[in-house]
């Protein structure tokens, strides 16, 4: 009996062991079935994800050109550089790899090491690396380190038109100027590239999981800026800002019959390829489009055109000038003493009479600055000459300036009297240039534009002039204003005169508002604006100098700069005489 019990016990243990092994095997088979059959797609994707890298392929940014009168010339191109990145998962020794990389790309060793230790799958180690450095990194075959080809903006013309162009930041986004305004069209559409890598993160040359979505290049554009004129305006503006020790300066040259900008410059300026090294970002601003200021007496011809067009006055009208005029509780005087006497419409412009501007303003209200007078002047300023709103030029950050309405609590008679000679409102140099174009071209206001043509994948298309408003003033009034501006230039800026060409202009000196909100007593801004006309071409040029330190009127200094620019334009650019 004892022997049988022992045998039975051994048999039972063997059977139990076999059953246990069978059960374990069954469980394993079920798990394998679940992993390989039921959850096959999930685990396959997870395994593949360990070796799949997706790379965004940057589209080539559109190039920017100007015209030099004979051909298009590149002003913004693209240069191939490389971005160095790493996948810290594959970095076995962060300190050793950091030392390797520092010898190639430079930088702070500790910072590189910290980046290689990050708990992430992608870190940028260096940007804008040259091809020679990229080739050395490839030769080293550093595990977990890769290269991405990128495009960097280059500027064959150096600093030329920097505030007009703007720049492109490290994220390939346009900043300021045209680059920001036209960023979407210039950027194109990035592509996508998916690659399978080995265990070290190195892309495999051949596999069945490659995906490719080709990038679409951005539009190429040709600006309306004329390279010859742009160079002249920049050089003469810089020369005169230096000569007068002015705080800053700006200038705009616009085709009066199309609204196309042929030159736009600011001083001081900067090198767009070195934008990151600029300590003061205000240098990126384009004062010609976003530097609204009180322009002074350059508004008087616009005031005159309003009185003429409303048939309240005409070129033969006169008035008795006492040398001052009382408006409410304020006394408005002329900047120079002429004595009490009769003055003509020509005198108002050639002698720059503030009292004359007020007289023209009063004429709109039957002899007083009433609501009718204020409303009429306001409508001409805003609805006809485009002040108080942006011009919609293709440049980022444009200001609209400020024109107080006739029913505003501040829109009283004194303010409107001041507005008649360019104080109490703010405008930009571009707005003035566009308004003067309508003033002298027969009365058509063109939208200012910096674009000449756009080249897309479907071809190149010219950007035609855009008429915003016709009959701003009558052709006869336009002719009358041209005549008085020519008289003003002949009496006040003889160096600007040229045989065979119609030259007319007006000066403006304005007080400067200080930080305390009050006008400074020792600082003035000067402006000079006018037209240069030949047989079939007419340009409006404005020069603005901020706080020149030389003696005399600030506007007289701007007039010197204006004459230098206009004469050189006529010397170099073929404009047929009248």
Which residues 6+ apart lie within 8 Å of 93 measured at CB?
A: none
- Give mean pLDDT, residues 222-247: 97
Judgement on whether residues 309 and 367 belong to the same structural domain of the protein: yes
- Three-state DSSP class for residue 386: coil
Same domain for 59 and 112, yes or no, is: yes
- Give the pLDDT confidence of 336-389 residue by residue, as tens digits: 888 899 999 999 999 999 999 999 999 999 999 999 999 999 999 999 999 999
Query: Phi and psi (nearest 5°) for 367?
Result: 115, 0
Scored b (16 or more CB within 10 A) or e, 562-575 reads: bbbbbbbbbeebeb
- Averaged pLDDT for residues 138-161: 86
Looking at 218, 247, 282, the residue that finishes a domain is 218
- In sequence order, what DSSP letters do the residues of 148-180 get, joined into one string? EEEEEEE-TTTTTTHHHH-EE-TTS-EESHHHH
Q: Is residue 478 a part of any domain in this protein?
A: yes
CB 531 within 8 A of CB 553: no
pTM of the model: 0.85
Calculate mean pLDDT across residues 457-479. 96
Please answer whether residues 330 and 414 qualify as being in contact, where contact means their C-beta atoms are separated by less than 8 angstroms: yes
Q: How big is the chain by its Cα radius of gyration, in Å?
A: 36
HEC assignment per residue over 78-131? EEEEEEEEECHHHCCCHHHHHHHHHHHHCCCHHHHHHHHCCCCCCEEEEEEECH
Q: Using 50, 70 and 90 to split pLDDT, how confident is the model at 217?
A: confident
Q: Does the pLDDT at position 205 exceed 50?
A: no
Q: Token pair 């505003």 is at which residue?
A: 408
pLDDT of the residue at 170: 85
Q: Which of 148-152, 301-305, 323-327, 482-486 is predicted with the least confidence, judged by mean pLDDT?
A: 148-152
Q: What is the mean pLDDT of residues 67-80?
A: 93
* Per-residue confidence band for 332, with pLDDT thresholds at 50, 70 and 90: very high
Tell me if 179 sits within 8 A of 167, measured CB to CB.
yes
User: What number is the average pLDDT over the span 318-326?
Assistant: 95
Q: What is the dihedral of CA 392, 398, 402, 408, to 10 degrees?
A: 60
- Say whether pLDDT at 184 is over 90: yes
Query: Tokens in use for 134?
Result: 């990229």
Both structure tokens of 117: 């230790």
Residue 162 falls within a domain, yes or no?
Answer: yes
Q: Has residue 20 been placed in a domain?
A: no
Q: 268: cis peptide before it, omega within 30°? A: yes
Residue-number span of the structural domain to which 504 is assigned: 224-572
Is 31 in a helix, a strand, or coil? Answer: helix
Residue 343 to residue 331: CA distance in whole angstroms: 19
Last residue of a domain, one of 172, 189, 218: 218
* 202-226 burial: b if 16+ Cβ within 10 Å, else e: beeeeeeeeeeeebebbbbbbbbbb
Q: Do residues 396 and 176 lie in contact, with contact meaning Cβ atoms separated by under 8 Å?
A: yes
Among 144, 173, 140, 156, smallest CA distance to 76 is for 156
For residues 80 and 192, state if they share a domain.
Answer: yes
**Residue 191: band (very low, low, confident or very high) from pLDDT cuts 50, 70, 90:** confident
Whether residue 402 sits in one domain with residue 346: yes
Listing from the earlier edge strand, what are the strands of the sheet with 52-57? 52-57, 191-196, 211-213
Which of 192, 218, 244 is the last residue in one of the domains? 218
pLDDT at 21: 66
Domain membership of residue 45 (yes or no) is: no
Look at residue 146 and tell me whether its pLDDT is greater than 90: no
The Cα angle at residue 171 between residues 168 and 173, in degrees rounded to 5: 45
Q: Across 268-355, where does the E strand assignment appear?
A: 318-321, 324-327, 330-333, 341-344
Burial of 249-259, coded b for 16+ CB within 10 Å and e otherwise, reads: bbbbbbbbbbb
In a domain, 486, yes or no: yes
- The answer on 418 and 467 residing in a single domain is yes
Judgement on whether residues 191 and 288 belong to the same structural domain of the protein: no
pLDDT value of position 42: 56
Say yes or no: 93 and 180 in one domain: yes
Bridge-based pairing state of the strands 445-446 and 467-469: antiparallel
- pLDDT band of residue 478 (cuts 50, 70, 90) is very high
Say yes or no: 339 and 190 in one domain: no
Higher pLDDT, 134 or 417: 417
Does 198 share its domain with 247?
no
State the Cα torsion 536-441-298-304 to the nearest 10°.
140
**What residues contact residue 171 under an 8 Å CB cut-off, 6+ apart?**
none
Indicate if 354 and 387 belong to the same structural domain. yes
C-beta separation of 236 from 564 below 8 A: yes
CATH number at residue 549: 3.40.710.10
Phi, psi of 284 (to 5 degrees): -75, -15
DSSP H stretches of helix in 141-263: 162-165, 177-181, 183-187, 227-244
Query: What is the count of structural domains for the chain?
Result: 2
Task: Please list the residues that pair with 330 across neighbouring strands.
Answer: 327
CATH number of the domain within which 128 lies: 3.90.1310.10
Phi, psi of 485 (to 5 degrees): -70, -40
Instruction: Give the number of other Cβ atoms within 10 Å of residue 122's Cβ.
Output: 12
Q: Does pLDDT of 218 surpass 50? A: yes
Q: In terms of domains, do 213 and 252 share one?
A: no
The answer to the question of residue 255 being in a domain is yes
Q: What local confidence, expressed as pLDDT, does residue 7 receive? A: 58
Q: In this structure, is residue 501 part of a structural domain? A: yes
Q: Are residues 330 and 382 in the same domain?
A: yes
Listed range (106-120, 196-210, 485-499, 535-549) with the worst mean pLDDT: 196-210
Q: Of 258, 268, 251, which Cα lies nearest the Cα of 224? A: 258
| Separation CA 402–CA 565 (nearest Å) | 29
């Amino acid at each position: 009996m004892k022997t049988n019990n022992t045998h039975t016990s051994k048999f039972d243990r063997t059977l139990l062991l076999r059953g246990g092994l069978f059960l374990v095997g069954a469980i394993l088979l079920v798990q394998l079935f679940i992993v390989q059959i039921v959850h096959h797609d999930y685990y396959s994707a997870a395994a593949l994800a360990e070796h799949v890298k997706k790379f965004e392929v940057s589209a080539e940014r559109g190039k920017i050109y100007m015209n030099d009168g004979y051909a298009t010339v590149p002003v913004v191109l693209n240069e191939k550089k490389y971005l160095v990145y790493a996948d810290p998962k594959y970095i076995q020794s962060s300190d050793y790899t950091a030392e390797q990389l520092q010898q190639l790309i430079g930088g702070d060793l500790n910072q590189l090491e910290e980046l290689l230790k990050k708990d992430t799958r992608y870190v940028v180690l260096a940007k804008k690396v040259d091809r020679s450095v990229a080739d050395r990194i490839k030769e080293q075959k550093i595990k977990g380190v890769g290269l991405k080809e990128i495009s960097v903006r280059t500027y064959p013309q150096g600093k030329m038109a920097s505030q007009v162009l703007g720049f492109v930041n490290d994220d390939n986004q346009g900043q300021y100027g045209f680059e920001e305004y036209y960023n979407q069209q210039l950027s194109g559409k990035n592509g996508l590239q998916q690659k399978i890598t080995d265990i070290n993160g190195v892309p495999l040359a051949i596999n069945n999981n490659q995906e490719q979505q080709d990038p679409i290049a951005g539009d190429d554009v040709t600006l309306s800026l004329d390279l010859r004129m742009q160079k002249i305006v920049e050089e003469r503006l810089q020369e005169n800002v230096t000569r007068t020790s002015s705080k800053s300066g700006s200038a705009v040259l616009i085709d009066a019959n199309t609204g196309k900008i042929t030159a736009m410059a600011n001083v001081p300026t900067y090198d767009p390829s070195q934008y990151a090294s600029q300590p003061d970002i205000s240098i990126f601003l384009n004062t010609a489009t976003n530097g609204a200021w009180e322009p002074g007496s350059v508004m008087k011809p616009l005031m005159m055109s309003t009185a003429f067009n409303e048939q309240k006055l005409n070129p033969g009208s006169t008035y008795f000038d006492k040398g001052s005029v009382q408006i409410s509780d304020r006394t408005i005087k002329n900047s120079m003493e002429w004595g009490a006497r009769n003055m003509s419409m020509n005198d108002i412009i050639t002698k720059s009479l503030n009292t004359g501007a007020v007289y023209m303003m009063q004429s709109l209200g039957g002899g007083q600055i009433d609501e009718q007078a204020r409303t009429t002047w306001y409508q001409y300023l805003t609805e006809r000459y485009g002040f108080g709103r942006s011009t919609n030029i293709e440049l980022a950050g444009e200001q609209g300036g400020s024109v107080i309405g006739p029913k505003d609590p501040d829109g009283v008679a004194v303010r409107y009297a001041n507005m008649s000679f360019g104080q109490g409102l703010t405008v930009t140099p571009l707005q003035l240039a566009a308004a003067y174009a309508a003033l002298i071209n027969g009365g058509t206001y063109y939208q200012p534009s910096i674009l000449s043509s756009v080249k897309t994948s479907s071809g190149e298309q010219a950007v035609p002039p855009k008429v915003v408003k016709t009959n701003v003033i009558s052709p006869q009034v336009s002719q009358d204003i041209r005549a008085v501006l020519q008289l003003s230039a002949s009496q006040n800026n003889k160096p600007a005169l040229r045989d065979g060409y119609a030259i007319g202009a007006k000066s403006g000196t304005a007080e400067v508002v200080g930080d305390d909100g009050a006008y400074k007593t020792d600082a003035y801004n000067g402006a000079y604006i006018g037209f240069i006309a030949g047989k079939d071409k007419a340009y409006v040029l404005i020069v603005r100098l901020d706080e020149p330190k030389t003696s005399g009127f600030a506007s007289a200094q701007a007039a010197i700069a204006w004459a230098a620019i206009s004469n050189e334009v006529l010397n170099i650019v073929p404009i047929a005489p009248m």
